[in-house]
Amino acid sequence: MDTLQRAVDFCIRHQTTLSFSIVSLLTAASERVFSYVVFKCPCNSENLVYGYSFLLAPAFVLLLLGYMMNARTWRLFTGMCSPEKHPQYCSWRTWAHFCQLFVPMTAKASVAPLTWIAVALLGANFYECAASGSNMTAQLFCKNKGNYSQEQLYKMPCDEELAAAMSSVCLSFHAQSQLIGWFLIVNIMALALISTCVTHCFSPVSYLQFKFWKIYSRKEHKLFETKAKEHANKLAERNTNCFFEATDPAPFPTPSNEDWQKVSVSYTFNSQSQYYSVLHKYVNTNRGNDAEFQEEGQDLNVIEFVDEAQPSVSGL
């Protein structure tokens, strides 16, 4: 039991890293399946489009899925274009805040598509098919490796004997693909490390306070979801009973539209006020009626790391 508890605690502490690792492994496995089962190079003038379609189209789909599975996407966009909020969203400060939130969202959503592209480039199947259909690529990389016609290049991915005869060209395509793949991986890892270090260096809170904040964030979200289910169940039970019993409903306090709107905005950290969420701020500012509630903080970097503990859209 102690071993199981330690394993659960480890998964909770490192759930972001584990989730990214699982997504990457599943994406890599899917790419291998597509490469060997689904992908069939046409070996004609359509090689270029077909090869790059398999390289980039699934990555774009995975990017869109990454946005869709991120709860922050829907929190950020829901009600954004409503007439009541239109004047509020015209200020430059609001759009700057939107961009600050959208960039880390994009970074998280890019894990799967970048994994797909990197693994596909290392495998070289897609790139070889695409490169064999490009006259420009052939002239650029193969002009000193023999005189080959465009038709031969088209058929090379499908004909083993021709591929053996044009081994220098084939190896060149493979080398190019793998070099680009490793270059992409190195740049992604370097950029991720640098951005993480810079964000932590400019964090307005200490390491231990940051750990406490993450614990609080997880507990608040869990309790909020539990309480929301209980509240919805009681309201549904009251309304159903009144309908079938033909009675008038008893008073049932529930948050107003304005209250829901206040607690649904994205929270920014303000070092002058020690609040750990928008709900925490709402409760301590007279249900959001004090002027302090309207004050926006400037530090978003801490919020990004705290929100890593939050579930995806499935937890909404």
Q: What is the mean pLDDT of residues 251-266?
A: 87
Residues in the chain: 316
- Looking at residue 222, its pLDDT comes to 92
Phi/psi at 212 (5° precision): -60, -40
Nearest-CA neighbor of 254 among 285, 273, 230? 230
pLDDT per position as a tens digit, 99-135: 777 888 888 889 899 999 999 999 988 998 888 888 7
Q: What is the mean pLDDT of residues 210-230?
A: 91
State the Cα–Cα distance between residues 64 and 109, nearest whole angstrom.
8
Q: Which helix (DSSP H) or strand (DSSP E) does residue 17 occupy?
A: helix 15-33
pTM of the model: 0.79
pLDDT per position as a tens digit, 264-316: 877 777 777 788 888 998 998 888 888 777 766 555 555 555 655 454 443 34
State the Cα–Cα distance between residues 120 and 107, nearest whole angstrom.
20
- pLDDT above 70 coverage of the chain, percent: 78
State the Cα–Cα distance between residues 151 and 132, nearest whole angstrom.
9
What average pLDDT does the structure give for the chain?
80
Q: What is the mean pLDDT of residues 241-252?
A: 91
pLDDT per position as a tens digit, 69-94: 888 888 777 777 766 655 555 566 66
Phi/psi at 267 (5° precision): -90, 135
